[in-house]
Amino acid sequence: MNKNVPNILTMIRIAFTPLIILMFLLPIDGGVGVFVALGLYVLGCFTDFLDGKIARKYNLISDFGKFMDQIADKFITTTAMILVLFSGYILPSLKWINILMVLVVVLRDILVSGIRMYAASKGTVIAADIFGKIKSFFLDVGSMILMLTIGLMQCLTITKANVNLIQIFAYVGIGVLGVGVVLSLLSCVNYSIKGYQAIKKANEGKSE
């Protein structure tokens, strides 16, 4: 197994991000662009699962891979959230909810990255926690459902049955995304506690 395969998969996820933006925003009739963006997003999320699995199975874990994997995840996940929530299709009358969800996730990522960087400067590595992994799953699935919803809005003829179907998809997507946002907060608290404990332990070790 080529040692660069996990890193290549990670970089593919980063490369997919501008393509997802382009296809989602292109004014293509019938929701084709949105569905292509959805396909790219699903493939990108699959590379996230695949690169980690390959790296662990063949012992190809590297510092570069761990660093870039986090960046790639934030690139593609945050991009998808912003696209679907600010598209004007999802809860346009409650825009503040969409803004709040994006802010929670973005600010959480900034804070956690700062905590992990500071801990690393003290010689302590804070590993990813279970809340962080599960929240990524919910954020990804929620964004996929909402992207599918937007595609259906653009391609289906407006009938009562179709409107009901689309509303169900929209509320399910928002609900799943909301769970991911809550888990983001729990993960942030957990990382903060771990960071404080790790840094305190490192400082105590130096003072002895």
Cα 16 vs. chain centroid, distance in angstroms? 13
Percent of all residues in the chain with a pLDDT value above 90, rounded to a whole number: 42
**CB contact burial 188-198 (16+ within 10 A = b; e otherwise):** bebbeebbeeb
- Confirm if 185 and 108 have CB atoms less than 8 A apart: yes
Query: CA-based Rg of the chain, rounded to a whole angstrom?
Result: 19
Residue bearing the bigger pLDDT, 30 or 202: 30
pLDDT at 132: 79
Domain formed by 5-207, architecture: Up-down Bundle (1.20)
pTM value is 0.88
Indicate the angle between helix axes 63-85 and 5-25, nearest 10 degrees: 10
What pLDDT digit, counting tens, does each position of 25-50 carry? 998 888 999 999 999 999 999 988 88
SS3 137: helix
Residue 1 pLDDT greater than 60, yes or no: no
Check whether 2 has a pLDDT greater than 80.
no
Inform me whether the pLDDT recorded for 156 exceeds 90.
Answer: no
